[in-house]
Structure 1
Amino acid sequence: MKKLLFLSMLACSVALHAQPRGGKQVSPLTINKDRSVTVRYQAPATVKEVKICGDFLPFKVVSTEKWGDREEFTPIVMKKNTEGVWEYTSAALKPDLYKYWFEVDGVKTIDINNLYVMRGGRSDNANFFIINDGISANYITQQVPHGTVSARWYYSPYFKKDRRMFVYTPAEYEQMSTNRYPVLYIFHGSSEEESSWLTQGRMVEIMDNLIAQGLCEPMIVVAPNGDLDSQASYYTMNFDSSNQPHMCDVQNRSRGKENFDYYEYEHSFKDVINFIDSNYRTIPSKEGRAVCGVSMGGRNAMNVSRLQRNTFNYVGLFSPALEPEIHFPNKGYDQDIIESLRQQAKDGVKLYWIGVGQHDLQWKTNVPFRKILDEVGMKYSFNPSDGAHTYNNWRVYLTKFAPQLFK
């Protein structure tokens, strides 16, 4: 009964605050010739205020002691035009993918006149648009050969249950029936899911376009579920408030447990590799494997690559979440971590790539990590950029990282 009431209230809220159908049609979002964008919202006369929210709005840089500089986007109150429609026109925008939503008298809703919607996490639904030019052309479905994406279920002996991942195979995979392909394993961040790289990350479009341009080797890309307790995306499973997902937050997950494995995700990852090597025509060796990830997934990539020795020849850390006091067993870079990185450096990694934005909340936490890499002799490529802890940066990082793999 409580579930039914919750869903009914949700439906009423959406119906109340969605743009009303019928009457005069509201023009959809418009990308103007100067690359500014005009968004519109038609609301009932009783609505007092409509705000536009999104990452295309002006931002301010806020300095914090722990995180350093951060970007904060402030919602903007829209204005009614002469036809009574709420409207906002942005400044000229640089080429990129941007997401946005509305707040109608304080209640979040999306733009029903824009069919392009993504889920940026478990509850972060938003519309998006693309200013198409330069690097952002890789985020659009172009007239090129397209790969195939499959939702694959596999049994994990470590977790003793079925789990789900998404697998991308390049366009030629079905035609070149005897060829074997290298594999890139790509991890999502905290509060996200295995589909995040397909939606926010535009991984499929990026890989199709880079491969078609000859900039990237044809490869298999695997996007696994980084949630330790759920079998798949939260919304894929039946709603059950008693079984909320838990990410790789070792501090909370270890509380009250004896002999807790802080690296259970990393240790369980052999199940993913074994499934892929058994079911796809892979190159099942260190030379044929790469791993990368964003935020929490960047930390997972760092840990997986150092704990599973000689498994990955390419490592990409995109804004890796590396707060030692939270994410490591002894609340710091202990000797085990340092020695495993030293051994990884000695074994050899063809590419160890780090990207982080100067307004990223992980900018400061990456400084001591890079010092450790220097101390243990790990050769790495450090790629600072503008921007914050968002897919606006991580999409760019993927377009720079992927072309360097398996060459």
Structure 2
Amino acid sequence: MAPQAESVTFLVGDKEYLCVENENGVWEGTFPYRTGHHYVQVKINGMEILSPLFPIGYGYSRPYNYIELPQDDFYQLKNVPHGSVRNEYFYSKVTEEWERCIVYTPAEYEENCDKIFPVLYLQHGHGENEISWTTAGKVNFILDNLIAEKKAVPFVVVMCNGMVQRVNQKKKRIVDFKLLEQELVQECIPFVESKFRIGKKKEMRAMAGLSMGSLQTSIVGFHHPEIFSALGIFSGFVTDIIQGTELDMVERPLSDNEHLKIFENAHKFGELFPIFFRSMGDEDPFWEYFVRDDKILEQKGIPQIRKIYKGAHDWNVWRQSLRDFAQMIFREQ
């Protein structure tokens, strides 16, 4: 309902759809049906609005509407034991500000107070933040269901804001995605390890991320193989396609991809990361970069687990990626 509107449209992905006002004063529109999660931007008289009539998540660097259409039920709320999702705050010397991380603990965490749990450090993509994996990604429901079905071992998940901000020399606040490495390794990991009963050795830590978060996972994981035993690269990249490009807010040269030096010893890489998981949607606009990374990994003889899903660069692929990756990690525990 928009009584004073002269026009109503909505964006799904990069396409805009026209609405028509019916006899009851309701503006209606249709778009090609696809299951799962979709960000939706409503525009009234050409102005973007945040509608209270749709669920609200976080995308495109701000609160954003989305809709859910029927899909597989692996991420739905079911009658199983549920874990907890909590907000935690730590002071960062990297950003000189208070930062928030979201921590999921499985149901067993509250019941078995003597147990030390494995931990997955899980990153979102560009324009999202630390809440995205629980709002759009449904990570807590996915893991609750997998654990209840005994398809995954219980583990903790820590989600940080990968859109790390700093003030540059021009006094402008910008995002420097590469600062996550320092903040995560030096600050977030020690913080959560001091507060939660989680593993403090390589075999009990893993890292994964989607899109920009997948590149952050590659950079951090390859630089610190002593910290993580498994890496998940969801819809993403081992080669740095962000630094020095139009996607980067920092003025700097293109990346020299120094982190890829770890590929020089394929056998050692396989020992360091028994699980190296990569995934992509078959309609992903970044497909060419995924294939380019394929060739690098093939030339270097790097062992990997590779999954292709039906879909684009969206949460419907990332949820499936997490579902499958979660069933592989920490089995030795």
Same-fold call, TM > 0.5? yes
Aligned counterparts of 1:380 and 1:303: Cα–Cα separation in 2: 17
What residue in structure 1 maps to residue 7 of structure 2? 49
1:158 deviates by: 5.0
Q: Structure 1 regions of 5+ residues with no counterpart?
A: 1-41, 56-72, 232-241, 249-262
Q: Answer yes or no: is 1:331 the counterpart of 2:254.
A: yes
TM-score w.r.t. structure 1 length?
0.71
The 5 Å alignment of 1:255-294 reads 264-270=179-185, 271-294=187-210
CA contact (8 A) 1:120 1:200 kept: no
Structure 1 or 2, whichever has the larger Rg, is 1
1:290 deviates by: 1.0
CA deviation vs aligned residue, 1:223-254 (integer Å, no higher than 9, x gap)? 012133269xxxxxxxxxx6534131xxxxxx
Q: Answer yes or no: is 1:369 the counterpart of 2:293.
A: yes
Aligned counterparts of 2:160 and 2:289: Cα–Cα separation in 1: 25
Paired letter, 1:88: G
Residues 178-187 or 144-153, more deviating? 144-153
What residue in structure 2 maps to residue 109 of structure 1? 49
CA deviation vs aligned residue, 1:96-149 (integer Å, no higher than 9, x gap)? 2334242212112244344x2222242251142341x42xx2333222221111
The 5 Å alignment of 1:304-383 reads 304-321=220-237, 324=240, 326-327=242-243, 331=254, 336-343=258-265, 345=269, 347-383=271-307
Q: Which of 143, 150, 158 is the equivalent residue of 1:207?
A: 143
Q: Answer yes or no: is 1:78 the counterpart of 2:19.
A: yes
What residue in structure 1 maps to residue 248 of structure 2? none
What residue in structure 2 maps to residue 246 of structure 1? 175
CA 106–159 in structure 1, closer or farther in 2 if over 3 Å, else same: closer
CA deviation vs aligned residue, 1:149-200 (integer Å, no higher than 9, x gap)? 1211123455555422111101110110001110010011122211111212
1:362 deviates by: 2.1
CA contact (8 A) 2:207 2:232 kept: yes
Aligned counterparts of 1:333 and 1:359: Cα–Cα separation in 2: 28
Paired letter, 2:7: E
CA contact (8 A) 1:167 1:220 kept: yes
Aligned counterparts of 2:39 and 2:127: Cα–Cα separation in 1: 18
CA contact (8 A) 2:215 2:240 kept: no
CA contact (8 A) 1:118 1:128 kept: no
Secondary structure, aligned partner of 2:327: helix
CA deviation vs aligned residue, 1:188-220 (integer Å, no higher than 9, x gap)? 112221111121212122222222222211110
Residues 172-181 or 97-106, more deviating? 97-106
CA contact (8 A) 2:58 2:129 kept: no
CA contact (8 A) 2:38 2:68 kept: yes
Paired letter, 2:143: M
The 5 Å alignment of 1:55-70 reads none
What residue in structure 1 maps to residue 84 of structure 2? 148
What residue in structure 1 maps to residue 124 of structure 2? 188
Aligned counterparts of 2:242 and 2:64: Cα–Cα separation in 1: 28
The 5 Å alignment of 1:161-240 reads 161-229=97-165
Paired letter, 2:86: S
CA 120–160 in structure 1, closer or farther in 2 if over 3 Å, else same: closer
1:359 deviates by: 2.5
What residue in structure 1 maps to residue 316 of structure 2? 392
Secondary structure, aligned partner of 2:163: coil
Aligned counterparts of 1:89 and 1:159: Cα–Cα separation in 2: 44
Secondary structure, aligned partner of 1:186: strand
Secondary structure, aligned partner of 1:192: coil
CA deviation vs aligned residue, 1:46-96 (integer Å, no higher than 9, x gap)? 4222223325xxxxxxxxxxxxxxxxx5222122323232223556544x2
Paired letter, 1:393: V
Q: Answer yes or no: is 1:402 the counterpart of 2:326.
A: yes
CA contact (8 A) 1:53 1:76 kept: yes
CA contact (8 A) 1:306 1:341 kept: no
1:350 deviates by: 1.5
Q: Structure 2 regions of 5+ residues with no counterpart?
A: 245-251
CA contact (8 A) 2:17 2:31 kept: no
CA deviation vs aligned residue, 1:29-48 (integer Å, no higher than 9, x gap)? xxxxxxxxxxxxx222x422
Secondary structure, aligned partner of 1:383: strand
Aligned counterparts of 2:173 and 2:254: Cα–Cα separation in 1: 26
Paired letter, 2:8: V
Output the aligned Cα RMSD: 2.7
Residues 121-130 or 377-386, more deviating? 121-130
What residue in structure 1 maps to residue 64 of structure 2? 125
CA contact (8 A) 2:219 2:238 kept: no
Residues paired across the two proteins, number:
319
Paired letter, 1:379: P
